[in-house]
Amino acid sequence: MTLLSVSPAVALNDTQKDAITVLTMASLVSFNDSCPRYTVMKDATDAEANAARLGELFDDPEKLAFGRKIETELLRQYGEDLSRFCLAAWERLGPNGTYRRQLLKAK
């Protein structure tokens, strides 16, 4: 499962691109308890947003639009196969995940 297939057209740094992707993914995991075996670690997601200085996105309409494209792509994947999406999120954001910071934990 390719988690992100959106080509950036704006000057977001890699940290911001990654943070937008994983924070959107974490948000979808917690939406209506979509992935009932996992819970989002709020302190970790807050730290991730702060480290990436995501507040800067709201100052630039092009960057904000890119964030929306990422969100749209992840929503598509979420809608296509929720179980697969949840597993992919866990493998990336869980305790032994491939992302640099753990954002999910088991319930």
Question: Residue 43 pLDDT > 90, yes or no?
Answer: yes
Task: Please report the pLDDT score of residue 5 as a whole number.
Answer: 46
- 49-78 per-position pLDDT tens digit: 999 888 777 777 877 888 889 999 999 999
| Residue 8, pLDDT score | 44
More confident residue, 1 or 78: 78
Q: What angle do CA 91, 51, 90 make, to 5 degrees?
A: 10
**pLDDT tens string 87-104:** 999 999 999 999 999 999
The predicted model scores a pTM of 0.83
pLDDT > 80? residue 45: yes
Residue by residue, DSSP assigns the chain as --S--PPP-S---HHHHHHHHHHHHHHHHHGGGSSTTEEE-HHHHHHHHHHTTGGGGGG-HHHHHHHHHHHHHHHHHHHH-HHHHHHHHHHHHSTT-SSSS--EEE-
∠ Cα 65 85 53 (to 5°):
40
32 vs 44, higher pLDDT = 44
